[in-house]
Structure 1
């Protein structure tokens, strides 16, 4: 009899759902990008109800048409039918895709859901969907609100749930000139983050990466596969993207813009050293970037550029990429003083590298239709020093006034007394002292260019080329919103601090999975205690085996665990090795301080409370070595006849009378039982131990992997003894012994 095979679960049925909403009069939030929309909470409830009804109808049709014979192949038990129905009622298609229709104009677009947080009866559309449905953007909407155009608030949007097939291919056509970037990875990232569907004849606007920030590059979706539906789903599918080449007119325009940029080319930047200034040029709209990798960590770092119109942005390697206008740790925008980084700053103490970006803040861009060249680049001289310079203002205050001089009440300069009257007549007539108390003196008629900020203590002077007041207000007192989250900052400095510290979308390299990921929001405030980002706290919860003790330890606790091992390692006492200088083993528990192998021939079970019998056995062994020798070709024992003959040059043979006189002082009871406090012993060993002794001596003369002082001979002997039984040859023994020493031994300088 054939075995009955379980029937696979049927696919989810088609979701039949549609509702009509009013267009929300509020602008879309910054997080609503791509083809996403917001629906009210009631829409989710109706979607679940529609999914339940569709599932019930689908299951009823499949069960009524199937056989009720339990022996049938397509038989489904009542319990399994009920289980499938309950499971289908709780499921929605993934991803949810919709057809969105503007009932006023008849325009159609395709969308995915962001969340169910809109007001009841309203739908919030992204700017991409607004453009696709011929709806006004935010600026047009505000203008039409001023004209009391009621049609805006009567816009009716129909949202219908549909099943869109998974896409396999999309062909894009560039609509603008200047097509120079490598767009494939940019498109992949942009589509993955912002889009659920792609519709034919829609226009994608991708932000440019270089030369013209703030402008978008546009692509037309020319063709999609499978064809016939007009749209495809790009979630959980392998999508092949093909970009058509530029036509002849676009290629000529791209070449013309490239030639224009060559007239204002910036320097390439690169590596910079302490007290090694770098000269270069920087054009508007570009950054020149430098790296500082080595410096004296006990001294402050001073970074300066004499040119006031060149701004300095500095960050460390904790920030991905180079510092940008809205993402930096230290910055200088006013051109007055250098950036001073103190050695006790916690940010610099753990940094491996400093990254420096230079820019001209007041940027101007070339119009793609303009024939005018770019403005000439700005020259700069970047210097990084670690010499503390005293401020010029402090020098002037500390300078002593000459006895025959006095201070002018108008310009506050030191003037000789004999010419004070002439100077004041000229000074009060031609110079004006700033009434706000900043001490600045101006030529009469130019005081209108001097400004004081009404919100802070900043002041400056406008020039024909640069409006420093507008720049200060833009940087210090203009609200800015983070492009990655909903945080709103009151100044550029607050925004930069947010993006480099607490922004949940700040990119970090996870110290556990080593991937570039967002650090996520610190809701439990654990980062301040542990120093781990929320992602690292979650990722570090995985476990692994300690390479020293093989215990199972969480990754985030491994650093503390290894520090405990390091404390245990440093607290260990020096190993006690065999008293025999030719041996390479640790000692055993006996009176002579020998290892068990060297002490074996001397052992006797006879009662010997005075140790005289043991002394005679040691004396006999010594005399046997000196008078007869061990006969081993590898022996190098100086207290052996064979070893003395093997040495280079050979040593003379010792006669019996001299041998007896030589051995007598070495075998006294006090000398033998003194252990390590007495003289060493010289007994012959086998070839293996002799080789281990040579390897241990070689290890004691080498340094560790960090180039620090190596290990004492006692630690090297123990390491070779531990790994000798696992090693394959001498080279393997050396490598494994070095690894053991790195883990467990104490270095000479610790």
Structure 2
């Protein structure tokens, strides 16, 4: 049966004329969006109630076809009152002053009565003059708004208006259209702003001409809830060649990719334009200072830790160097590096000639750098005044250049020095040739000084970085310098991105109104997020997430202060000794091994205990326990199961051997006396083997593991909960991680 085509949703019978608002559109009104008054919504709902049924119908009903409706559904749709507006709601907008038209989607019904607010995109499309071009002091432009129905788009062809656009436009374009546009109309100019980091690096807006849309014959298409294929083609062959040429030029001068760096050797690379080169230091000796150095004066260094999301830049850094060649020294006791897992380093050239978009020549060459990260026992201190004197008694210090000169040459040297060199009169100790003193500067607001070089105005750079007020682009905070702004952005800025330690999402930390961060170390968001509760994985108590760290430290203190368990004195047993029974604890036997030796008779001398132990030993040696898995050397069965088998012991040989083991002093000596050798069941022997295996292995962190006493206790606890051998091992290891003390602790 042939499927009938779905009937498109009916067009609302609604059209109205509004006066264009004289106020500029709000910043939230972007793309092809407009604002209408509340009365327009009421009239649209009234028009929707009078519109014909929008449910797709067909003469030949196919139950498996979701695009067709059953006769019952169609009947109900005609009888029910309809107050639903179509989605998305699309309007045809006409400028009655010049006849220009455009298509738009609705943002809100919050405009003033009888007024419409249009986005800048719609104003350009309708050729509406700017706000400064008012006529007779007020706007007199009427806009006709009509409910429209346009098809869902399947294809759009865009043509860039400028050569040299970047190749990574796709994710930017997709994000921009999804957030700001409902329709695409042929011959409109689509302006896509770059991302924040691209804008900071000098990237201009992307401008595209909407050249063609499908379905064919449509002057506009809807791009909401549809699979839209977008094709980008240059306007002509000349533009395509120019774009390719500029990409090749960028490759010639492109920056190094950065990456991981260590303290074994330096990294060499190039920086082009206003780009950043990012490095990550993940392993270092935490007992030594870290020295980060680039000998090139024109390369700036910015450093943060993994506590700051993203790579450091000119406005977000913890440690920075913007003049000279002195290294950045990070001391091991610096609290900002105590919990750091990674140190992030960014290199940047402050003064760089921009790419001339209209020039056909080569772009500026990239700047070379040599980044080294070293560690020493003592970091280099501040550079003091250079003392050129030496221990040679025949030398003297020149009063002008402060260099050490032989006495016999001092007269000639000073004649030349005073004639050609000038000592800085401000006391900085710098010496420079006559004629270049105009390039030497001292800051009137601080103690900084320097010398301008060809192509590099270091004085302007210093004033811009150290003494130019700046404003945070996130929270409108005012800072007196770039350093103050960087400190604000990496500490107290409400929009500083953090990785929440509780919900593990990257989001703003929010404003610290009650000094929570300063007191507890928790960002305002983490304080609220940490108020949620969960069960402690050790004691199962309900604990707030923000208190879990302190709670676990208490568990850790209890764990480390727990005494070493005492295992059964019987070498074949795998149980611990209970402290509840003084008799068992005195003998060093567990309750199972002590059971056959127990007597209800009063035995102050231990003679009865000695006789029972002697009887147990003689029974094992002469008759055996009969257990197939026994390997006890003091048992006839165990000696036969040994590999190679041990010879059986006769009664004559057994008596003197046993007598020495069952003396009253020997039995009651506990752990300080000799061990006991009583037979155990096969399950106990298996648990003993598992405990020994766990004792030989390391823990989950690859450390020293646990003593046999802890492993025996863990297997005993786990055996009471599970029966499968694999689960027993996992359960015992989990208990060791929570409660046992490692060998190296």
When the two structures are superposed, what TM-score results if normalisation uses the length of structure 2? 0.79
Aligned to 2:230: 242
Equivalent pair of 2:95/2:144 in contact (CA under 8 Å): no
Match of 2:422 among 420, 429, 432: 432
Determine whether 1:364 maps to 2:350.
no
Superposed displacement of residue 292, structure 1: 1.5
Aligned to 1:452: 442
Aligned to 1:268: 257
Aligned to 1:313: 302
Superposed displacement of residue 409, structure 1: 4.0
| C-alpha distance in structure 2 between counterparts of 1:407 and 1:122, whole Å | 84
Aligned to 2:677: 682
Aligned to 2:341: 352
Equivalent pair of 1:37/1:123 in contact (CA under 8 Å): no
**The residue matched to 1:394 in structure 2 has which SS?**
coil
Determine whether 1:322 maps to 2:307.
no
Aligned to 2:573: 583
| C-alpha distance in structure 1 between counterparts of 2:392 and 2:617, whole Å | 94
Structure 2, unpaired ranges of 5+: 1-11, 52-74
Aligned to 2:156: 171
Aligned to 2:325: 336
Match of 1:206 among 193, 198, 216: 193
Superposed displacement of residue 624, structure 1: 1.0
Instruction: Sort the Cα spacing of 1:469 and 1:503 in 2 relative to 1 into closer, same or farther, 3 A.
Output: same
Instruction: Sort the Cα spacing of 1:58 and 1:174 in 2 relative to 1 into closer, same or farther, 3 A.
Output: closer
Cα deviation code 1:537-588 (max 9, x no counterpart): 4444444333223333343333333223222222222223322221112234
Determine whether 1:614 maps to 2:599.
no
Aligned to 2:30: 34
**The residue matched to 2:262 in structure 1 has which SS?**
coil
Aligned to 1:69: none
Cα deviation code 1:361-415 (max 9, x no counterpart): 2233333442101122222221111134646943734955755555444434444
Equivalent pair of 1:172/1:219 in contact (CA under 8 Å): no
Determine whether 1:548 maps to 2:534.
no
**The residue matched to 1:259 in structure 2 has which SS?**
helix
Aligned to 2:287: 298
| C-alpha distance in structure 1 between counterparts of 2:117 and 2:402, whole Å | 63
| C-alpha distance in structure 2 between counterparts of 1:541 and 1:650, whole Å | 66
Equivalent pair of 2:254/2:366 in contact (CA under 8 Å): yes
Match of 2:741 among 737, 742, 746: 746
Determine whether 1:515 maps to 2:505.
yes
Equivalent pair of 2:387/2:402 in contact (CA under 8 Å): no
Aligned to 1:715: 710
Equivalent pair of 2:20/2:117 in contact (CA under 8 Å): no
Superposed displacement of residue 432, structure 1: 2.7
Matched ranges for 1:404-419 at <5 A: 404-419=394-409
Match of 2:454 among 464, 472, 475: 464
Instruction: Sort the Cα spacing of 1:50 and 1:189 in 2 relative to 1 into closer, same or farther, 3 A.
Output: closer
Matched ranges for 1:502-541 at <5 A: 502-541=492-531
Aligned to 2:624: 629
Instruction: Sort the Cα spacing of 1:377 and 1:446 in 2 relative to 1 into closer, same or farther, 3 A.
Output: same
Moved more, 568-577 or 710-719: 568-577
Instruction: Sort the Cα spacing of 1:115 and 1:368 in 2 relative to 1 into closer, same or farther, 3 A.
Output: farther
Superposed displacement of residue 274, structure 1: 0.6
Aligned to 2:266: 277
Instruction: Sort the Cα spacing of 1:653 and 1:256 in 2 relative to 1 into closer, same or farther, 3 A.
Output: same
| C-alpha distance in structure 2 between counterparts of 1:17 and 1:595, whole Å | 94
Moved more, 529-538 or 267-276: 529-538
**The residue matched to 1:667 in structure 2 has which SS?**
coil
Cα deviation code 1:246-276 (max 9, x no counterpart): 4644432222112212332333333222140
| C-alpha distance in structure 2 between counterparts of 1:158 and 1:536, whole Å | 51
Determine whether 1:154 maps to 2:144.
no
| C-alpha distance in structure 2 between counterparts of 1:408 and 1:642, whole Å | 100
Moved more, 435-444 or 293-302: 435-444
Structure 1, unpaired ranges of 5+: 1-12, 62-72, 75-80
Instruction: Sort the Cα spacing of 1:179 and 1:425 in 2 relative to 1 into closer, same or farther, 3 A.
Output: closer
**The residue matched to 2:193 in structure 1 has which SS?**
strand
Cα deviation code 1:89-133 (max 9, x no counterpart): xx99999999988787776775766998x9999999876566556
Aligned to 2:72: none
| C-alpha distance in structure 1 between counterparts of 2:617 and 2:359, whole Å | 103
| C-alpha distance in structure 1 between counterparts of 2:145 and 2:571, whole Å | 88
Instruction: Sort the Cα spacing of 1:576 and 1:467 in 2 relative to 1 into closer, same or farther, 3 A.
Output: same
Equivalent pair of 1:328/1:497 in contact (CA under 8 Å): yes
Determine whether 1:373 maps to 2:373.
no
| C-alpha distance in structure 2 between counterparts of 1:295 and 1:180, whole Å | 38
| C-alpha distance in structure 2 between counterparts of 1:188 and 1:204, whole Å | 13
Aligned to 1:656: 651
**The residue matched to 2:610 in structure 1 has which SS?**
helix
Instruction: Sort the Cα spacing of 1:474 and 1:36 in 2 relative to 1 into closer, same or farther, 3 A.
Output: farther
Aligned to 2:9: none
